[in-house]
């Protein structure tokens, strides 16, 4: 596959992808700062309100499995365009829903749109940027993290200025509606996998399941921190504002990691970077568990930088294991599908353990244990060693080295 398919320069394509990526977490991150307003307005319990984040994660996991098939039939340009329509339309619909049930239902198309965007983007990356997976995935992750920061810092002031959370939700749909024409006019080649390569059927391969669990454990840690990190800091004596700002800073450190570690990994040592970053993420979680009050800022640096880099490095692994766009899309779809389903457990698990134990030490101890499992899986992953002259950015990897613990 040529790195310059007809109909659009790589620079224009990357710019359009990054504008699209701004939307993939913004519509989720805006919920947290406004969740108490939403609960009060609609009379929702805390458990039901938590589903506003859990349902999209479940949808992102379930619908990721259909991504490669849709890309194969409709093409990358078409699928990503519809993804933006679903995200923008679902976000607008949430702003107008009068009951909790309808509000939750409106989150389903958002999760569908996010999952399809991620799978189709991975195929476009392989088309246009086959030799720089770390750099392009780093830029993609930085754009998503920027969306998280914008939502975290702007949600409350926007709701206060406009009158309610509904207006803030409606405004948050605008970036998707702006990204749609930018994407459609970027001249992206509407690559249909089935027209020039064989589309492998998505199946629970040992490698796909292994990557799905590894990505899922990292995402579970992230979801748990975003949902309950502010409350843990408040329990340790932080003000509500400072606690929210501390957790929002995760996005900033993810951007820094995306523009440094993930880019550097293209030069070699991707496996070693992945192990180091999972260890850093685990150290941040352990600090929040043991001493959130005194060194809370340090723990957010470690967690944000390490966790953000781990997520983005995981997204580059399918590029290293496969060099055919169809195979990359399939492996990415399985990794994201299983991974997001696992991550949906995080907020509910921490909340339930907090109710049982009366604090955050026990729930974060469990999350730390899961992060240690993730670190072990990163260590056991086959070494991602570049060949002297890798064809079209491929990497020589012996898949037989994947630990046999996950059934084929």
Tell me, yes or no, whether 368 and 313 share the same domain. Answer: yes
Tell me, yes or no, whether 251 and 381 share the same domain. Answer: yes
Q: Give residue 299's pLDDT.
A: 93
Residue 401 has pLDDT above 50, yes or no: no
Tell me, yes or no, whether 182 and 270 share the same domain. Answer: no
Residue 312 has pLDDT above 60, yes or no: yes
- Residue 163 falls within a domain, yes or no? yes
**Domain stop point among 189, 218, 241:** 189
Exposure string over 215-231, b if 16+ CB within 10 A, otherwise e = bbbbbbbbbbbbbbbbb
pLDDT digits (tens, 9 = 90+) for 28-46: 778 777 777 888 888 877 6
Q: Give residue 366's pLDDT.
A: 96
Q: Give residue 335's pLDDT.
A: 86
pLDDT digits (tens, 9 = 90+) for 242-262: 877 787 788 889 889 888 888
**Domain stop point among 121, 154, 189:** 189
Q: 368 pLDDT band (50/70/90 cuts)?
A: very high
| More confident: 368 or 351 | 368
Q: Give residue 327's pLDDT.
A: 75
Residue 198 has pLDDT above 50, yes or no: no
CB 64 within 8 A of CB 337: yes
pTM score above 0.75: no
Tell me, yes or no, whether 13 and 162 share the same domain. Answer: yes
Tell me, yes or no, whether 150 and 210 share the same domain. Answer: no
Please give the Cα distance from 77 to 217 (Å, whole number).
30
Q: 7 pLDDT band (50/70/90 cuts)?
A: low
With a pLDDT cut of 70, the percent of the chain lying above it is 86
pLDDT digits (tens, 9 = 90+) for 93-122: 999 898 989 999 998 999 889 888 887 887
Q: Give residue 199's pLDDT.
A: 43
Tell me, yes or no, whether 185 and 250 share the same domain. Answer: no
Q: Give residue 406's pLDDT.
A: 34
Q: Cα–Cα distances in Å, from 212 out to 276, 300, 316, 351, 395?
A: 19, 25, 13, 24, 20
Please give the Cα distance from 26 to 143 (Å, whole number).
10
Q: Give residue 396's pLDDT.
A: 36
Q: 1 pLDDT band (50/70/90 cuts)?
A: very low
**Domain stop point among 140, 160, 189:** 189
pLDDT digits (tens, 9 = 90+) for 130-186: 777 777 877 888 888 888 888 877 888 888 888 888 998 999 889 998 999 998 888
Domains of the chain: total? 2
Tell me, yes or no, whether 39 and 116 share the same domain. Answer: yes
Residue 215 has pLDDT above 90, yes or no: yes
- Name the one residue in this structure whose structure tokens are 């926007």: 158
Tell me, yes or no, whether 152 and 243 share the same domain. Answer: no
Contacts of residue 300, defined as CB under 8 A and 6 or more positions apart, other chains included, come to 229, 246, 247, 249, 250, 253, 284
Q: 85 pLDDT band (50/70/90 cuts)?
A: very high
| Enclosing domain of residue 185 | 9-189
Q: 82 pLDDT band (50/70/90 cuts)?
A: very high
Domain CATH code at residue 208: 1.20.1250.20
Residue 197 has pLDDT above 70, yes or no: no
Residue 277 has pLDDT above 70, yes or no: yes
- Name the one residue in this structure whose structure tokens are 């399809």: 116
| More confident: 317 or 227 | 317
- Residue 349 falls within a domain, yes or no? yes
CA end-to-end distance (rounded Å), the chain: 29
pLDDT digits (tens, 9 = 90+) for 50-66: 778 788 888 888 877 77
Q: Give residue 274's pLDDT.
A: 93
Tell me, yes or no, whether 157 and 293 share the same domain. Answer: no
- Residue 195 falls within a domain, yes or no? no
Q: Give residue 285's pLDDT.
A: 96
- Residue 145 falls within a domain, yes or no? yes
Tell me, yes or no, whether 182 and 207 share the same domain. Answer: no
Q: Give residue 325's pLDDT.
A: 67
- Residue 197 falls within a domain, yes or no? no
| Mean pLDDT of the residues in the chain | 80
- Residue 96 falls within a domain, yes or no? yes
- Residue 194 falls within a domain, yes or no? no
Tell me, yes or no, whether 209 and 154 share the same domain. Answer: no
Mean pLDDT of all residues in 215-233: 87
Tell me, yes or no, whether 150 and 42 share the same domain. Answer: yes
- Residue 400 falls within a domain, yes or no? no
Mean pLDDT of all residues in 293-302: 88
Q: Give residue 61's pLDDT.
A: 81
């Amino acid at each position: 596959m040529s790195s310059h398919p007809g109909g659009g320069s790589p620079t224009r394509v990357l710019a359009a992808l990054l504008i699209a990526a701004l939307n993939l977490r913004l519509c989720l991150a805006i919920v947290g700062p406004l969740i108490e307003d939403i609960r009060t307005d609609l009379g929702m319990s805390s458990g039901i309100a938590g589903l506003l984040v859990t349902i999209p994660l479940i949808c992102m996991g379930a619908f990721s499995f259909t991504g490669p098939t849709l890309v194969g039939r409709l093409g990358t340009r078409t699928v990503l365009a519809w993804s933006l329509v679903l995200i923008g339309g679902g976000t607008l619909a949430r702003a107008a829903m009068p009951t909790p049930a309808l509000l939750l239902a409106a989150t389903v198309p958002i999760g569908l749109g996010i999952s399809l965007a991620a799978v189709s983007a991975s195929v476009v990356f392989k088309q246009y940027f086959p030799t720089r997976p770390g750099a392009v995935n780093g830029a993609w992750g930085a754009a998503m993290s920027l969306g998280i920061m914008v939502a975290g810092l702007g949600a409350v002031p926007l709701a206060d200025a406009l009158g309610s959370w509904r207006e803030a939700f409606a405004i948050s749909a605008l970036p998707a509606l702006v990204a749609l024409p930018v994407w459609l006019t970027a001249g992206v080649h509407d690559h249909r996998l089935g027209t020039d390569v064989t589309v492998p059927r998505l199946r629970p391969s040992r490698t796909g399941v292994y990557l799905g669990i590894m990505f899922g454990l990292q995402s579970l840690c992230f979801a748990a921190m975003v949902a309950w990190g502010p409350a843990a800091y408040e329990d340790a004596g932080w003000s509500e504002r400072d606690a929210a700002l501390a957790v929002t800073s995760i996005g900033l450190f993810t951007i820094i990691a995306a523009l440094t570690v993930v880019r550097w990994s293209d030069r070699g040592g991707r496996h070693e970077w992945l192990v180091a970053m999972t260890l850093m993420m685990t150290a941040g979680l352990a600090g929040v568990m043991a001493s959130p009050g005194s060194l809370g800022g340090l723990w957010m640096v470690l967690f944000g930088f390490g966790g953000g880099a781990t997520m983005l490095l995981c997204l580059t692994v399918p590029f290293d294991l496969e060099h055919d766009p169809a195979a990359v899309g399939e492996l990415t779809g399985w990794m994201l599908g299983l991974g997001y389903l696992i991550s949906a457990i995080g907020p509910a698990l921490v909340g339930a353990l907090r109710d049982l134990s009366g604090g955050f030490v026990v729930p974060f101890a469990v999350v730390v244990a899961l992060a240690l499992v993730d670190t072990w899986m990163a260590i056991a992953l086959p070494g991602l060693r570049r060949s002297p002259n890798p064809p079209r950015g491929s990497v020589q990897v012996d898949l037989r080295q994947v630990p046999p613990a996950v059934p084929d």
